[in-house]
Amino acid sequence: MKTASPHAGILPYQDIKRLIAARTIEASPPIEARQIQPASLDLRLGRKAYRLISSFLPELSTISSRLNVLDFYQSDLVMYEMDLTGGAILEKGHVYLVPLLETLKLPKTIRARANPKSTTGRLDVFTRIVTDLNAGFDEIRAGYQGPLFLEVVPRSFAIKVRTGQSLNQIRFVRGEATVTDTMLRTLHRRTPLLYHNDPSRKAVGSRDFRAEHGLFLRIDLKGDDRTDSRVIGYRAKKNSHVIDLAKVGHYAAGDFWEPLHRHRHDSLLLEPEEFYILASKERIRVPAGYAAEMVAYEAACGELRTHYAGFFDPGFGYGARGEIKGTQVVLEVRPHDVPFLIHDGQTFFKVVYDRMQDAPEQLYGVGLGSSYQQQALTLSKHFKA
C-alpha cells in the first residue's frame, strides 16, 4: 500500500481510502464509497440511541462506562435507550447520544475534527462528536484509538433517523494546515476566492478582500433584484410535523418555514432562540489544493450563532470545468439572550482555508452526489424545490 505524503495538510479522498484499507478507520458494516468525500468522511449512526438527561463531557471516564448501566433509573445521565434499526423519532429540545458505526485507530501524526453536514445544520439539528477521555467536542486528538459517539439535539423540528444515516463528517489533519492571511491574498490574486453575488459575478477587488486569521464575509439582506418575491431568508415555524431524513424533496417548505422578505431599511431583527436560514453577500470558491471551514464571527459578545455546519470541500464553487464563479454560503443563525439587529452588508462570519496534503482525486460535485454546488438561498434537500 502506498504511504501518504509526509507534508502537512488535510488528508484528501485517496488518503482517506488508504486509512480505511489500513484499518485506521474501521466499521461494521464496512464503510461505503458514498461516505468518502474530497476532504472528509461521512460518519454513520449506529444501531441505538440513548436519551440523556443532559449533555456531558467524558474527561474523567470512558463514555461506555456511563452508558452501560443495568438500571437506567439509577443512572445520573441516561433516561432510556432507543433502537434505530427500524427508525426512531428524536424529539426537539432533547439530548441524544448515538454510538457511531465507525471507530478510529489514529497514528500519533494524525488528528481529526468533525462538523455537522450541511443538511443537518439547515434542519437546526445540533450535533457534536464525543470521544473518550476528552475535554472538548468535535476535536479528536492525534493517536486516539476508540469509539465515536454523536450528541444529537434537534432544535426546531422533531426528526426521524435510522441506522446508517449520516448527520456529520470528519476531517483528518497532519501537522499545521491553516493558510495565512498573506497566502490567502496571494491565492485570491492568482485564482479568485470571492465573487460578488450580482449579475456581473466579478471577483472581489483587493480593497474589499478582508482577511484577519481567516476571510471575512458579509450577510445579504437585499435578495435577488431580478425576482419579485425578494425573499432574503427563512425562519423556522415553532410547531410542525416530524421530518423523516430518508425523504428527499418530500416536504412543502411552507409547512415548516416562514419566508422573510426584504425590509425597506435592508435590515432584519433577529429574535432570541429563533432559527433563521440566511445567505452571504459574496460567493466563495475553494481551489482543488485547499479545503475551507466556516467559523463564527462574534463581536466579543457571543449573543449570536451564525452557523452549525462549516466544511467546504475542494472544488466547492467551481463546477466540473471551473465554470461556476463561486457559490453563496448558506448560514444557520440562532440568536441568544437578546434581540439582535443586523443590516445588509454587515460582517457576519469568517471562512478559514486549510492546505490539502495533496489535491484530491475527487472534487466536490464531480460524481459525488453533492447537493449544494450551485446553491443560492437554499433549504435542506428534504423540501420541495
> For 112-129, how does the pLDDT look when each residue is reduced to its tens digit (9 = 90+)?
999 999 889 999 999 999
Hey, what amino acid is at 305? R
Q: Within 10 Å of residue 25's Cβ, how many Cβ atoms?
A: 25
For 14-27, what is the mean pLDDT?
96
Q: Is pLDDT larger for residue 310 or for residue 305?
A: 310
| Beta-sheet strands, E only, within 6-92 | 9-10, 25-27, 41-43, 48-52, 78-83, 88-90
pLDDT for 4 equals: 41
Is residue 319 within 8 A of residue 375, CB to CB? The reply is: no
With pLDDT > 70 as the criterion, what percentage of the chain qualifies?
Answer: 89
Q: What is the pLDDT of residues 317-329, one digit of tens each?
A: 887 777 778 899 9
CA distances to 55, 362, 373, 375 from 370, rounded to whole Å, are: 32, 12, 7, 11
Which residue is it, cell 492568482? 190
pLDDT for 385 equals: 74
pLDDT for 368 equals: 52
Which residue is it, cell 476571510? 215
For 351-358, what is the mean pLDDT?
95
Q: What is the pLDDT of residues 175-185, one digit of tens each?
A: 999 999 999 99
Is the pLDDT confidence value at 2 over 50?
Answer: no
Which distant-in-sequence residues (6+ apart) come within 8 Å of 288 by Cβ?
A: 314, 315, 318, 356, 359, 360, 363
pLDDT for 76 equals: 79
Q: Do domains 9-174 and 181-355 have the same CATH topology?
A: yes
pLDDT for 356 equals: 96
Is the pLDDT confidence value at 228 over 80?
Answer: no
Which distant-in-sequence residues (6+ apart) come within 8 Å of 200 by Cβ?
A: none
**Superfamily of structural domain 181-355:** Deoxyuridine triphosphatase (dUTPase) (2.70.40.10)
Hey, what amino acid is at 215? L
Q: Is pLDDT larger for residue 300 or for residue 1?
A: 300
pLDDT for 366 equals: 58
| Cα-trace Rg, the chain | 21
For 28-32, what is the mean pLDDT?
95
Hey, what amino acid is at 382? H
Closest C-alpha among 100, 346, 130, 311 to residue 222: 346
H helices within the chain, ranges in order?
Answer: 13-21, 63-67, 118-122, 181-190
For 256-285, what is the mean pLDDT?
93
pLDDT for 233 equals: 95
Helices and strands: H and E segment counts in the chain:
4, 26
pLDDT for 6 equals: 53
Closest C-alpha among 100, 97, 115 to residue 172: 115
Is residue 291 within 8 A of residue 39, CB to CB? The reply is: yes
Which residue is it, cell 455546519? 309
pLDDT for 299 equals: 52
Confidence of residue 198 (pLDDT cuts 50, 70, 90): confident
Confidence of residue 5 (pLDDT cuts 50, 70, 90): very low
pLDDT for 72 equals: 56
Cell representation of residue 378 = 437554499
**Superfamily of structural domain 9-174:** Deoxyuridine triphosphatase (dUTPase) (2.70.40.10)
For 258-279, what is the mean pLDDT?
93
Q: Domain residue spans in the chain? A: 9-174, 181-355
With pLDDT > 90 as the criterion, what percentage of the chain qualifies?
Answer: 66
Confidence of residue 337 (pLDDT cuts 50, 70, 90): confident
Is residue 275 within 8 A of residue 269, CB to CB? The reply is: no
Confidence of residue 310 (pLDDT cuts 50, 70, 90): confident
Cα separation, 184 vs 354, whole angstroms: 10
pLDDT for 161 equals: 98
Is residue 250 within 8 A of residue 256, CB to CB? The reply is: no
Q: What is the pLDDT of residues 67-95, one digit of tens each?
A: 875 555 556 789 999 999 999 999 999 99
Which distant-in-sequence residues (6+ apart) come within 8 Å of 130 by Cβ?
A: 57, 58, 63, 97, 137, 148, 149, 150, 151
The dihedral of CA 51, 55, 58, 61: what is its sign? negative
Q: What is the pTM of this model?
A: 0.90
Cα separation, 277 vs 275, whole angstroms: 7
Closest C-alpha among 6, 9, 364 to residue 183: 9
Closest C-alpha among 267, 80, 229, 49 to residue 153: 49
